[in-house]
Chain A
């Protein structure tokens, strides 16, 4: 049995806005082992991103437990959560989310700045990562000077900066054409082969099929599809 890296046990997440309460997650369970590649599917508004945020230590659950590498994140203070996030998790977003005033290298450096990695080491690693995603020639370009596919590759490089165990990709191909999307997907697959645990949220059935396992979410709960 492989080591469990992420475990959600009966997790609820509710948002209260004024008098309205939205239960985005309603008792969801999930178990991800180290080195797995899982895809999460489900209709819009079903709670996929909410679940990703909890896995990524961006937020606390309303109830239930989120275990990251065996540690209950609800017990961590915000600064400790930030540390865990910075070291163990890499995010890849649908909108790329690069910082516009920084060059490609500087964007990749950023997570290492927050971990106090010395400048020389930082730059070296950022350049290596960018070369490995095929952007060795675009080091000093700003995000707006890059195509969508290139920006997403920068953000993959950024996600890898602190050599995290887990990569969380929330619809990483959503803003890309299918060919570019496929190349990003291939990149994730090869990262998984190198040992990274990957959780991918996607609407695309074909992409989901490339993952090792597919989980379905509906109305904030696990949903077993009839085969």
Chain B
């Protein structure tokens, strides 16, 4: 009748309230860390997966190989051009191709000057549609650019709402970009990544003229036909471009990115972070386990006489063992329960803070049932395991010696 032993254990734990609390601290800090981290990690993973689903898993990006860090289009070694677009269009399995130009520019608004990126919308309607469908380009105010717009731009969310300039930019505002005047016709909804929210959209031919960019392209987006293997098509594109440029394998001056690659590198980062924190949590839980063991040893020593009394009233060794194991198991479980509650609170708080700071719902805490049940089962097992040696010691005490103990 295990319940009898559990209720005896509860009484004994309550009787040593302060020490029981202190013992549980080690466990619940560790469990709280694990629960909050895993929940946030899972949330982040889900958010990233979702992000890529909206971008579309049927697209690959081709750009010049970066020679350093920075937004696409800056600091590159090689070049991609309009010719590459024509080349990629001919690769079998490719549905549509579009090029984008991204240029750094100085923007002046009401006598204030800033360096920002200008991003092009392709001039050909089908290319424009491909670009616009591959990002969550939603208009918050005003309208999107029309192919015929010459001196018009659409600006990112931050221009209007994040005080990028001293005064907010609104529909109808005039911006001076590279000494030319443009009118703002639309403001985009918040996208969530700092680059897109601070970008300015401009029609591609206008942008090329403004920068004398003739043939250069910053990024090529290629959409793969339905049912085609994205990786294989990406490989075909790579081979075609390599042949066209006369480059050897591994020495290309361009690179091709598939959504899987992004996904994998994000996942790797998340996993590394989780592994580090779980490592720290593991140490804290280990310390917690040792704490329980220590408390149980102390408890066995203090209650030597009680053990003698129990044996004198007919307790078998196995029953004494069970009693002490229930006690340490319960200490673990109680610590784990507090840890889970604390972990949920921490996860939710981080979610809320992230929401306010980033304004995006990127970081959502998920608490799947197996995380909670697993954490509780784990802490009970840990407690019981930490109690094994003290409990064995208690059960093996000789009744006469235990009774004589003062």
A residues apposed to B, CB below 8 Å? 53, 56, 58-59, 78-79, 82-83, 85-87, 91, 93, 97-102, 106, 110-111, 113-116, 119, 158, 161-162
Contact = CB atoms under 8 A, between A and B. Distances in A.
Contacts of B4: 113, 119
Most chain-B CB neighbours within 10 Å: which of A79, A85, A98, A113? A113
Which 8 A-B pairs rank lowest in CB-CB distance, beginning with the nearest?
A86-B314, A101-B15, A111-B313, A82-B316, A114-B314, A58-B399, A59-B400, A114-B315
A99 B304 CA distance: 11
B259 to A, nearest CB: 62
Contacts of B399: 58-59
A106 to B, nearest CB: 8
28 contacts: A56-B312, A58-B311, A58-B312, A58-B399, A58-B403, A59-B399, A59-B400, A78-B317, A79-B316, A79-B317, A79-B318, A82-B316, A83-B316, A86-B314, A91-B312, A93-B403, A97-B403, A98-B309, A99-B306, A101-B11, A111-B313, A111-B314, A114-B313, A114-B315, A115-B314, A116-B1, A119-B4, A161-B313
A56 B310 CA distance: 13
Contact of A85 (B11, B12, B314, B319): B314
A106 B313 CA distance: 13
Given A59-B398, A100-B15, 18 more contacts: A58-B312, A58-B399, A59-B399, A79-B318, A82-B317, A83-B314, A85-B312, A91-B312, A97-B309, A99-B306, A101-B14, A110-B310, A111-B314, A113-B1, A114-B316, A114-B319, A116-B1, A119-B1
Contacts of B398: 59
Contacts of B14: 101
B116 interface: no
Nearest to A79: B316
Interface in B296-341: 305-306, 308-319
B403 A86 contact: no
Contacts of A58: 311-312, 399-400, 403
A85 to B, nearest CB: 5
A78 B398 CA distance: 10
Contact of A82 (B12, B314, B400): B314
B8 interface: yes
Most chain-A CB neighbours within 10 Å: which of B15, B312, B318? B312
Most chain-A CB neighbours within 10 Å: which of B8, B314, B317? B314
A110 B316 contact: no
Contacts of A114: 310, 313-316, 319
A110 B400 contact: no
Most chain-B CB neighbours within 10 Å: which of A82, A87, A119? A82
Nearest to B404: A49
Contacts of B310: 99, 110, 114
A137 to B, nearest CB: 22
Contacts of A83: 314, 316
A111 B319 CA distance: 12
A98 B403 CA distance: 12
A89 to B, nearest CB: 8
Interface in B1-47: 1, 4, 8, 11-12, 14-15
Nearest to B314: A86
Contacts of B12: 101
Nearest to A96: B309
Contacts of A97: 305, 308-309, 312, 403
Contacts of A78: 316-317
B281 to A, nearest CB: 33
A162 B312 CA distance: 13
B315 A82 contact: yes
A98 B313 CA distance: 11
Contacts of B306: 99
A116 B311 CA distance: 15
B400 A53 contact: yes
Nearest to A159: B313
Nearest to B398: A59
A56 B315 CA distance: 13
A111 B314 CA distance: 6
Contacts of A106: 11
A116 B316 CA distance: 12
Contacts of B319: 114
B311 A102 contact: no
B313 A158 contact: yes
A162 B314 contact: yes
Given A53-B400, A97-B305, A110 B313 contact: yes
Contacts of B314: 82-83, 85-87, 111, 114-115, 162
A65 to B, nearest CB: 18
A113 B314 CA distance: 9
A82 B313 CA distance: 8
A194 B15 CA distance: 38
B303 to A, nearest CB: 9
Interface string B178-219: 000000000000000000000000000000000000000000
B326 to A, nearest CB: 12
A110 B4 CA distance: 10
Nearest to A101: B15
A101 B318 CA distance: 21
Contacts of B318: 79
A100 B303 CA distance: 10
A110 B318 CA distance: 15
A18 B8 CA distance: 38
Contacts of A98: 309
Interface string B272-297: 00000000000000000000000000
Contacts of B315: 82, 86, 114
A98 B318 CA distance: 21
